[in-house]
Chain A
Amino acid sequence: MKANCWTGRNTVEVLDVPEPSILNSRDAIVRITSTAICGSDLHLLDGYVPTMEKGDVMGHEFMGEVVEVGSGIDADKLRVGDRVVVPFPIACGACGACRAELYSCCENTNPNAGLSEKFFGHPTAGIYGYSHLTGGFAGGQAEYARVVLADVNALKIGSDLDDEQVLFLSDILPTGYMGAEMCDIQEGDVVAVWGAGPVGQFAMDSARVLGAEKVIAIDKETYRLDMATAEGYTAVDYEDVDVRSALLELTGGRGPDKCIDAVGMEATHGASHVQLYDRAKQAARSETDRPHALRQAILSCRSGGVVSVIGVYGGLIDKFPAGAWMNRSLTLRTGQCHVQKYMKPLLGLIEQGKIDPTRVITHRLPLSEAPTGYELFKNKADNCEKVVLRP
């Protein structure tokens, strides 16, 4: 079958690889009908997430039709022919983390848990197509994929919603939603979102659904800010204005009540010297992540507010404003999304028409053109916001 594989720093190629097989009795094989490129795939592409190996199949946002189920799966739970969306973190549903609905911290699904533990202190869940640090699972930018512990890791879609309406339940919609949910939004809250990429857009939509009074989008790409203003959000272009001043102006000097970092480890910065400093440290590997958005969010947030981090960080950061965080009683909340917790309620919101995930899709390409999709998305060329691939 065809699969989009990582073949070295800054290169992905569509290669012929074997079709997946059942490795565990609770596996299922899915024929993929739609898959997408995620912003976090770009961190893999350019080698900022360690432990990628040449030939790894990329992709953790996918859906399709079940074509084979393992002997350990109860037919009530899943059967051949079911149409499913697959959450990116692999959960077991039985360990302490899963029972606490912290699915992305599942204690059982990462065969490389020992390695993960060395990086993160405790191991984290397996993730499809997302380096060997998260288990070395083949990804879903392919014609077929193996779904692990499929009876607890596949959401059946019974209704006639089309792929594009439900595909993003696999990652970016729940991730954006969790970013807003962690903000514990109260009536009258102003929520600022760093990053108007797809996850940022969904964080904004979710903040509105959860009752935010005003939502502010911070980015430098005009087309992404336009996408936000079209939804009624307020845009701040960090290349034109000083973000903190702009946010104070928009909030009567208080600062946003809640701040969401939907950027993560490869942030860019308006002030070129700061950008250069972090870029240099990152290149020398004495800092793995560039945390401008996080720093800015902490300094901008009103005292007692919440900073919610859904942008991906992989390692270490520098110049963390601990003083601001501590002295101003800020709450910092974060996590890889616990997708399984949010899929069903969000499917409900989609069915009710309260969230329209399709609004972020700008490019539809065949799987064979995945490398082009990566180029467009990485370079923000052709106003690229979200690429959907069809095998």
Chain B
Amino acid sequence: MQTDGYRDHPVRSYVLTGGRAHPTRNTLRPETLLCTVDDGRRLPASAGRHQRALLETCRGTLALAELAAYLRLPVSLVVVMASDLIDEGYLAIRSNPVHDLPAADLLEEVLDGLREF
């Protein structure tokens, strides 16, 4: 239901992000793991339903791309929304940002995991 609005009116994305096309942080990637902060704090009444849906969907750990897929919103839009929610303390980054190339020890662990399949 909630995706119809976006699909019918592509222009809506600017409204959803308060007119901004760029996120407040550039460390979010499609695979960045996110999780809603469960501290009982409620979003202000002025928050939009997409922000609410995002926090509801992210009550367990999900990557940013997964959030976008479930919410049926473009990744570029979810990045902006998620950045704001992180800045406001409602959403947390669960994974450490990966720089340039993944470290060798991380690759070793991935390899060990794959060999178990």
A, B assembled together: no
Residue numbers of B with Cβ under 8 A of A are none
Residue numbers of A with Cβ under 8 A of B are none
